[in-house]
Chains A and B, each alone.
Chain A
Amino acid sequence: MMKGKKRILVACGTAIATSTVVARKIEEELTKRGIDVVITQCKAAEVPSKVDGQDLVVTTTFVSGTGNVPVIHTVSFLTGIGMEQDIEKIVEYLK
């Protein structure tokens, strides 16, 4: 598929519970599709300092300071509702 690893920053309030679940779900789903990604977890407040060099930000809470990096704000990976569509969106952004 694509050359080189894409980078996704996954943010939530505390970077301990929610983003862990989100990061694992994304990684599994993308691996199934043969897409290799590097996922970094952080707190919402850390996004501005960590967004550099990322291809995409996926967050469960409001974030700012993301510059030109696209942001997907979703809780689908926690509720299970709309997860497939969000994965498709992520795949599109990473192309």
Chain B
Amino acid sequence: MMGSGVLQFKDLVKEDLILSGITYLDKEEALREMAGMLVEKGYCRPPFIDAILARERAHPSALPMPGHKIAIPHTDATYVNRSALLFARLEKPVEFRSMGDPNETLEVSMISMFALKEKKLIGDLLETLITVYQDEAVLNAIYDAPDSIEIYRILQKHVQEKSKTMDTR
């Protein structure tokens, strides 16, 4: 492994930052509420909320995965105190614009909001997480998981498996 400063799964993913069965009216409400939660818990400062919304308008973050669609809203590190991942599985999908084609809307059923501070230390984990999201079976399992604890376990298990194969590649 690299230096001790490299972010590990547990540094970024927290059980209390995984929401299941949550309902938002639309994308704006989802982003505002989720970013607000990161502010409330001290991970980010209040302007983070508007920064996330502005970034989403300029650069949509929904990924056109083959199965369930996931959005990965994030913004630069300016208003981030500590890095965190806030993950939400939605009761009802909301419309996001697609990162690949902003004219296309996607029905997003999971939102993986990143608050990122240490860009240099986060590459491995970020790449692993996105690779995990690329696995349709994983997103299906998260979609069907009974609660947020199980979602956490699924993410942890696959991130660990994936980082092992990526290390020894």
* A interface residues (Cβ-Cβ under 8 A, vs B): 12-18, 20-21, 24-25, 28, 44, 60-62, 74-75, 78-81
The one of A13, A20, A75 that contacts B126, using a Cβ cutoff of 8 Å: A20
Q: Are A17's CB and B66's CB within 8 A?
A: no
6 intermolecular pairs with C-beta atoms under 8 Å apart: A14-B55, A16-B77, A17-B114, A21-B127, A78-B99, A80-B65
Q: Are A20's CB and B100's CB within 8 A?
A: no
Interface residues of B in 109-153 (CB under 8 A from A): 114, 116, 119, 122-123, 126-127, 130-131, 134-135
**Please, how many angstroms separate the alpha-carbon atoms of A15 and B74 in the complex?**
10
Q: Are B99's CB and A14's CB within 8 A?
A: no
Please list the 10 inter-chain residue pairs (A to B) with the smallest Cβ-Cβ separation, ordered nearest first: A13-B59, A80-B134, A75-B100, A17-B74, A14-B76, A61-B59, A21-B130, A24-B127, A21-B127, A20-B123
Closest to B116 in A: A16
Q: A75-B63, A78-B130 are in contact. List 12 more A-B contacts (CB 8 A).
A: A14-B55, A14-B76, A16-B77, A17-B72, A17-B114, A17-B116, A61-B59, A75-B98, A75-B100, A79-B64, A79-B66, A80-B135
